[in-house]
Structure 1
């Protein structure tokens, strides 16, 4: 596949900070590049060590929703720096894991950081989530941890996921989801926020749970897990803001866009969901 360079300002910033040996950025976002999960958010400590535990907890929550067992073949789509794969590698044996990402810069880091343990097999490949370069019915589980909103369209991804899953195989994902009913002012806030957030975190395509239900019907998937963890991910924002404020430069845009996201989630104008599906026979 021809090399593709995706210029996401968020990843550009992280990779620059890693190159500069920024230990805070490395510790906070060098393994997992997603939000944290605190079962008791009121007990969250706003520090990087607590965030490391929380990001690991989010990966575990999602792959447990898929009921991963040893010996399975697992696909992690939008695998980032390989954090979820590293967690699977640490906690299971005899897995065959494939990580796919369209951005080769992230894959290069994943290959460097994640080496197989416990008789696991790990492969990282470059590819498009909406046109997977993989054979049909060859995976037991597909994971999409906090990445689906970046894909060109959810329908194409879910259709491809259904194609590569074996019968009764499972998809587990996390996503930012809009409430089904929105007032006019919420639409204005959404589009204004979306425009500003896209300038740093990259383009995000939101949808509602009603959209997900319709997409599942069209792609032969049956919902088996539906968990709203909006409150449990909220401490993420204060930790990210602390990290961004201590950067040498470029603090304004990361902090401002993170504040918008924090407001949208704390006011429940955007929800954070973990959803799992099973492929119908």
Structure 2
């Protein structure tokens, strides 16, 4: 968005440190991302729809027993733990939030998976891993905060072995934001520290530049965006008093997700690529 500066990783880490406890209370399963509804008539809750999107990511990643996946922007660990449970894979997650690292490792330990699931403090633009270290990598809704998507994808492509998959979701502009919607969209970009706007046409080049080959670029906006915003708005109206007291003065918390429900110009992408075997 014009006039919105790219977020600094330290700022993003501080943002998620602030909202860590809210995240824990928002969804006991820690699937803290948008939801996926199968149809307009699907009456799943936001938590159920978010869990469904996690399962879609697991299916696309195609990692099995003893394979190793890098979870880029791991949140408080819900999707990574679920992957390990469902597929038997090992997971290393990275985040720029100290609180997310602590809560993620606590979640892995409580699930009896501390030997296979580990969360670490690291910057996705400068991953502290050797080339070819992982069988796959995913970025479930973390790409939205990256100031340089090309650099992050390059790092993911570097650490994934040849033949390994890279799976991600991202918010994108399906069409230019009209003037009468721009203020609310820019407020979200600014206060929730979103990175530069991207379009679907940008992704083939971004992936090629990272040494990756495109498998799928799917616009799943109709299954994701409006209903997530409406459900998140409804959920926010019922938060416990202690959350209101803790975050009531925070500009990001003051935003109403429902304001974005009619902004059809903002969409949601599911991207699958792989590192070619040469």
Runs of at least 4 residues of structure 1 off by over 6 A? Answer: none
Q: Distance in 2 between matches of 1:177 and 1:257?
A: 20
SS of alignment partner, residue 261 of structure 2:
helix
- 1:58 and 2:39 correspond: no
- Tell me the equivalent position of 2:268: 272
Could you state the TM-score of these two structures normalised by the residue count of structure 2? 0.83
Shift of 1:85: 0.8
Could you state the TM-score of these two structures normalised by the residue count of structure 1? 0.82
State which of 192, 199, 208 in structure 2 corresponds to 1:208.
Answer: 199
Shift of 1:29: 6.3
- The alignment's C-alpha RMSD in Å is 2.6
Q: Distance in 1 between matches of 2:181 and 2:123?
A: 27
1:118 to 1:246, Cα distance in 2 relative to 1, 3 A: closer
Shift of 1:195: 2.7
Q: Deviations over 1:28-68 (max 9, x none)?
A: 366111011111242224xxxx3222111101112211222
Q: Deviations over 1:166-225 (max 9, x none)?
A: 00111000111112x53xxx2646753343113542233220121111111212111112
Q: Distance in 1 between matches of 2:165 and 2:220?
A: 20
Shift of 1:16: 4.7
- 1:15 and 2:9 correspond: no
Q: Distance in 2 between matches of 1:158 and 1:130?
A: 8
SS of alignment partner, residue 114 of structure 1:
helix
- 1:244 and 2:251 correspond: no
Q: Deviations over 1:214-260 (max 9, x none)?
A: 11121211111222211111322222112212344329964644133
Q: Distance in 2 between matches of 1:43 and 1:246?
A: 22
1:117 to 1:261, Cα distance in 2 relative to 1, 3 A: same
Shift of 1:137: 0.6
- Tell me the equivalent position of 1:121: 116
- Tell me the equivalent position of 2:5: none
SS of alignment partner, residue 168 of structure 2:
strand
SS of alignment partner, residue 14 of structure 2:
coil
Q: Distance in 1 between matches of 2:22 and 2:90?
A: 32
Q: Deviations over 1:115-139 (max 9, x none)?
A: 3657961111100001001110111
1:67 to 1:193, Cα distance in 2 relative to 1, 3 A: same
Shift of 1:272: 0.7
SS of alignment partner, residue 177 of structure 1:
strand
Q: Distance in 2 between matches of 1:194 and 1:214?
A: 26
Number of residue pairs aligned between Structure 1 and Structure 2: 259
1:41 to 1:83, Cα distance in 2 relative to 1, 3 A: farther
Contact 1:90-1:117 within 8 A present in 2 as well: no
5+ residue gaps in structure 2? 1-9
Q: Distance in 1 between matches of 2:212 and 2:55?
A: 22
- Tell me the equivalent position of 1:22: none
Contact 2:70-2:134 within 8 A present in 1 as well: yes
Q: Distance in 2 between matches of 1:29 and 1:261?
A: 25
5+ residue gaps in structure 1? 19-24
Q: Distance in 1 between matches of 2:165 and 2:191?
A: 32
